[in-house]
A and B are shown apart, each in its own frame.
Chain A
């Protein structure tokens, strides 16, 4: 296996080559945002979420930390913090997995097949178990309200611009952004 530092580069590279929009912070590889689209054939279809990815020092031995930045109504996602309760990205993570797996498989599966038996958002779980239609309705309302493309374009922490930036612009804007930004 490659050295851990190279694994970061390769994983990030593969993610971008799979056409994910990756927004890096000052060209750093520790922490970045990835745009994630709700899977077709799920009530989350049409929603766009900005996912915060943090690669710990021990990555890939330790799992990446994944969180929804804009709100989502889902039994296994904490409404307040956006934390995800999913075994493959927590307890059963393996260094064989990479970021493409997370965005291509794990997260779509989570949205397609929520697991109300181990809820983090108990309310969503209860609703899903009792009234699937009402639950899907609620999901869509949340998407409409919090997960439109413009909601991910205007990142609360890093961006002040309202426009959605393209991938190239994301990457390119880094230097200028630092230069133009007053010290926090």
Chain B
């Protein structure tokens, strides 16, 4: 336990608000044998109980600029068990607070900087600035510094190491600065004057680390409401591509062996990917012969019909016959049967990822769908997609066939029931029913679905219908 406490801050048992025996274990048991000659110390979120992984700052007892002496209570931290005052083991000046009251920090991540004397305050502040603006990166960068000290267990607080010598940190600062400057180039909605966002939208934006100024509001009078923020974060943000684009040159700057924090978009992607782990998914694959579809495509290509539109149309028609595949599970307790069939198609743009949506794809004819698709792609490139044009999908198509990929596996976007990964269509030697051998163009599709609402037989029947539609595509053109 004592190794968990190699931090300048220790809980003081005298101020426990709750009589909890488990907390007594955090009583300072060893003197800190780390003799670190540091001018600036990071103050870490201490581990106040054996099960604590993150702590919430209830209040700062000291303010920035206050002189601290060893043993002073500095901050009240709420752990998974209780509120505790935490005291310092070092003298110094509280130079900068990184995690404000109400904020949450992982155990071991810096929550403030302690300067040894007044000259160092400015330096500490600049560190705090970089650390707080990259907030999510703060824990990763600190863990990188702790990894250099070898055997420390991952969630444990890193020893107090003078941060100015930390090379990765500098890189992180560069990256953050770059990202921030990009963001500021994209002014707020409302003609760039002011951002009007509802209280919940603001709260969500903070939680999801999304810049409100980049979001187009769909609420009353163009106000940004919660669902706009959610939609923005869910897709990685239309501006996610912007940030990603800007992050590109930064990547080349990053040195090998360094740790580069996520951009806002990458954060959103990361969050969504992790979130998807909460959904019990399974996969069903199918091989579909595309000779007839290819022939149809050749015939109507001149009328501006695209393969994407044809695939979307075919999928939508199959979904119309199997509404459960178009449903989703929002709360873990019920089916949400969507009233319209909106096919989202994943598109890579400028290193980012966005999913423009073909709405009512079952009802709109394939020519209009093709025109719509072109319009959406143009808008996506110009970063002018409105949230309702990329957040309203009920079923997602992801096609890597153009790269020659013959099969792959897609991750289910949160909030939808299924996603279909489409491989390339290629000539394949097949045995036909009449006992001959021939070549047919075949493609493999692989559907990932939420098993809470969509069962194996549902998917099988859906894929059967889809293959029938594609193999006999006369319905696609009405």
Are A and B co-members of a single complex? Answer: no
Measuring CB to CB, which residues of chain A are less than 8 angstroms from any residue of chain B? none
